[in-house]
Amino acid sequence: MSKAENGQGAGPKEVYYEEYARLLFPYLGWPNWPPKETPGNKEWWKAGTIVLPSSSRASYSLPYTPLIEIDGLPKSGKSRIRDELSSSLTNSLDKGKWSIVAFDETPLLITKDAVFADLTLIYPPDILPDDDPVPVVFEKDDWVTTLYYQHLKSEWWGQQIQHLAKPILQPKKHKLVLGYRGPTDGTIFSWAFASHRQDSTFAIPDDLSRASELLLKSAVNLELVSHYVDAVILVGISQQEAQKRRAAEKKDYPGWITDSPFYQDLSSWYGYWIENVWPKMHKRYGTGLLVVDGRKPLEHNVPLIAEYVTNITKSWV
């Protein structure tokens, strides 16, 4: 009898995820799980990579729905780009053929002192206990909250993809979905979380194997969901620049990631994904990539991203 069968080790579901990770991650260019070290940090946002999805991407795309993920490092300008991009695209896309949907809700709201989890964004109200208040409040500076954040992100994005993938007749309009805090970002975050050791908010204790198993499950689920993304847009800046921007906002408390050594690890794993994982995804699935320098003004970056997205939509109609 195996350890899994007699209850002393990982159960069937955990074994499934371990085996899936053993086969899936190296196939896609990731190292073995769990990662033993953090890759070297490079200024990947200076690369200026612009690669549209290839013609083979249509075989993997959602029906009539290009999904474009826009993510990047904290304080790189993602939120301001999000606020201005939809209006820019509305002016450039054919209104008779396209509608724009921005997925920028997340199950968690991070404030100065706490993290609020709105479970109604994920689970139907009828399955939530009546005596369980929503939203749920978590301590902010705690690795348990970070782990739960990853779990909720994988659950939420899994549901969005299921909804978008439902078979439909040809619609009157194509739907352009812009995803923020998306599955690619979640996958990269999982690797940074698994390898980080300095900041206790982002470091799972070595002796808690069950917590590591839960993180692996989220990492696998997010990786699988990320295959539905047709193109990834990543915005980056240095931690020093991010801290300057935060200081300019006159916030009197440390940034959750901006003022943590975890920032460097997260940036390193972004660079690793760009160099090692994305090339294989582009070759096998046709996934596009745009790398944006967050140091440049919005007047430069918003038109750059809008042009990239508009060019993608031309191949869908």
Give a yes or no: residue 255 inside a domain: yes
- At residue 123, the pLDDT reads 64
**pTM score of the predicted model:** 0.89
What is the average pLDDT value for the chain, to the nearest integer?
Answer: 86
Whether the per-residue pLDDT at 4 is higher than 50: the answer is: no
**What is the domain count for the chain?**
1
Give a yes or no: residue 188 inside a domain: yes
- Render pLDDT for 160-179 as a digit per residue (tens, 0 to 9): 888 888 766 667 788 899 99
CATH label of the domain that carries residue 246:
3.40.50.300
Give a yes or no: residue 56 inside a domain: yes
- At residue 185, the pLDDT reads 95
- Render pLDDT for 254-313 as a digit per residue (tens, 0 to 9): 888 999 999 999 999 999 999 999 999 999 999 999 999 999 999 999 999 999 999 999
Give a yes or no: residue 46 inside a domain: yes
Give a yes or no: residue 11 inside a domain: no
- At residue 188, the pLDDT reads 97
Give a yes or no: residue 297 inside a domain: yes
Mean per-residue pLDDT, 133-149: 73
Give a yes or no: residue 204 inside a domain: yes
Mean per-residue pLDDT, 215-242: 96
- For the chain, percent of residues with pLDDT exceeding 70: 85
Three-state SS letters, the chain:
CCCCCCCCCCCHHHHHHHHHHHHHHHHCCCCCCCCCCCCCCCCHHHCCCEECCCHHHHHCCECCECEEEEEECCCCCHHHHHHHHHHHHHHHCCCCCEEEEEECCCCEEECCCEEEECHHHCCCHHHCCCCCCCCEEEECCCHHHHHHHHHHHHHHHHHHHHHHCCCCCCCCCEEEEEEECCHHHHHHHHHHHHHCCCCHHHCCCCCCHHHHHHHHHHHHHHHHHHCCCCEEEEEECCHHHHHHHHHHCCCCCCCCCCCCCHHHHHHHHHHHHHHHHHHHHHHHHCCEEEEEECCCCHHHHHHHHHHHHHHHHHCCC
Q: Domain residues for 266? A: 34-106+174-314
Give a yes or no: residue 14 inside a domain: no
